Chain A
Amino acid sequence: MTNEGPATIEAATVVKPQDARLQMFAEFWHYFSINKGAVIGLFVFALLILVAIFAPLLAPHSPDDQFRDFFLTPPAWQEGGNAQFLLGTDAVGRDMLSRLIYGSRFSLAIGFVVVTTALISGVILGLLAGYCRGWVDTLIMRIMDIILAFPSLLLALVLVAVLGPGLVNAMIAIAFVLQPHFARLTRAAVMAEKTREYVVSAKVAGASHLRLMLVTILPNCIAPLIVQATLSFSNAILEAAALGFLGMGAQPPTPEWGTMLAEAREFILRAWWVVTFPGLAILITVFAINLIGDGLRDALDPKLKRS
Chain B
Amino acid sequence: MLRYILGKLALIIPTFIGITILAFGFVRILPGDPVLVLAGERGLSPERHTALMHQFGFDLPIWQQYLTYLTNILGGDFGTSFSTKTPVLKDFLVRFPATVELAIFAMIFAVIFGVAFGIFAAIRRGSWFDQLTMGTALAGYSMPIFWWGLLLIIVFSGTLHWTPVSGRIDLLYFFKPVTGFMTIDSLISGQKGAFRSAVSHLILPTIVLGTIPLAVIARQTRSAMLEVLGEDYVRTARAKGLAPRRVIGLHAFRNALIPVVTTIGLQVGTLLTGAILTESIFSWPGIGKWMIDAISKRDYFTVQGGLLLIALIVMSVNLIVDVLYAVINPRIRAN
Instruction: Tell me the smallest distance from the CB of B26 to a CB of chain A, in Å.
Output: 6
Give the CA-CA distance A55 to B157 in the complex, in Å.
36
Contact of B15 among A142, A241, A269, A291 (CB under 8 A): A142
CB neighbours (8 Å) of A276 from chain B are 151, 154
Taking CB atoms, residues of chain A closer than 8 Å to B272 are 151, 154
- What per-residue 1/0 map shows which CB atoms of A256-294 lie under 8 Å from chain B? 001001000100110010011011101100110111001
Is A143 an interface residue when CB atoms closer than 8 A count as contact?
Answer: yes
Q: How far is the CA of A162 from the CA of B304 in the complex (A)?
A: 11
A120-128, A219-227, A245-253 - the one binding chain B: A245-253
A301 at the interface (CB under 8 A from B): no
Q: Are A238 and B15 in contact (CB under 8 A)?
A: no
B57 adjacent to chain A (CB < 8 Å)? no
Residues of A within 8 A of B138 (CB): 37, 287, 290-291, 294
CB of B269 within 8 Å of the partner chain:
yes
CA distance A146 to B21 in the complex (A): 10
Q: How far is the CA of A201 from the CA of B269 in the complex (A)?
A: 43
A286 touches B154 (CB 8 A): no
Flag whether A26 is at the interface (Cβ < 8 A): no
Q: How distant is the Cα of A279 from the Cα of B145 in the complex, in angstroms?
A: 9
A53 on the B face (CB < 8 A):
no
B147 touches A275 (CB 8 A): yes
Q: Pick the contact of A162 from B15, B18, B30, B147 — CB < 8 Å?
A: B30
Asked if A158 lies at the interface with its beta carbon under 8 angstroms from chain B, I say: yes
Residue pairs across A and B with CB atoms within 8 Å: the count is 122
Stretch at the interface among B200-208, B243-251, B291-299: B291-299
On chain B, which size bracket covers the interface?
Answer: 35 or more
Q: Determine the chain A residues whose CB is within 8 A of the CB of B6 once the complex forms.
A: none
Q: Would you give the 0/1 interface string for B300-331, flagging 1 where the beta carbon is closer than 8 Å to chain A?
A: 00010001001100110010000000000000
* Cβ A162 vs Cβ B292 within 8 A: no
What is the interface size of chain A, counting residues whose CB is below 8 A from a CB of the partner?
A: 43
Q: Is the CB of B310 within 8 A of A234?
A: no
> With A246-B292, A268-B153, A290-B141 as given contacts, are A143 and B147 in contact (CB-CB < 8 Å)?
no
Please name the residue on chain B nearest to A148 by beta carbon: B269
CA distance A278 to B311 in the complex (A): 32
Interface of chain B, main secondary structure? helix
Contact indicator A157/B276 (Cβ below 8 Å): yes
In the complex, what residues of B have CB within 8 A of residue A146's CB?
Answer: 15, 18-19, 22
Q: Which of A143-197 contact B (CB under 8 A)?
A: 143, 145-146, 149-155, 157-158, 161-162
Tell yes or no: A242 within 8 A of B by CB.
yes
Known: A150-B314, A265-B150. A162 touches B142 (CB 8 A): no
**Besides the contacts A37-B138, A153-B277, A242-B277, what 17 more A-B pairs have beta carbons closer than 8 Å?**
A149-B314, A149-B315, A151-B272, A152-B269, A157-B291, A158-B26, A158-B295, A158-B303, A241-B146, A245-B144, A269-B154, A269-B157, A272-B154, A279-B151, A283-B139, A286-B143, A291-B138
Binding site for A on B (CB under 8 A): 14-15, 18-19, 22, 26, 29-30, 135, 138-139, 141-144, 146-148, 150-151, 153-154, 157-158, 269-270, 272-273, 276-277, 280, 291-292, 295-296, 298, 303, 307, 310-311, 314-315, 318
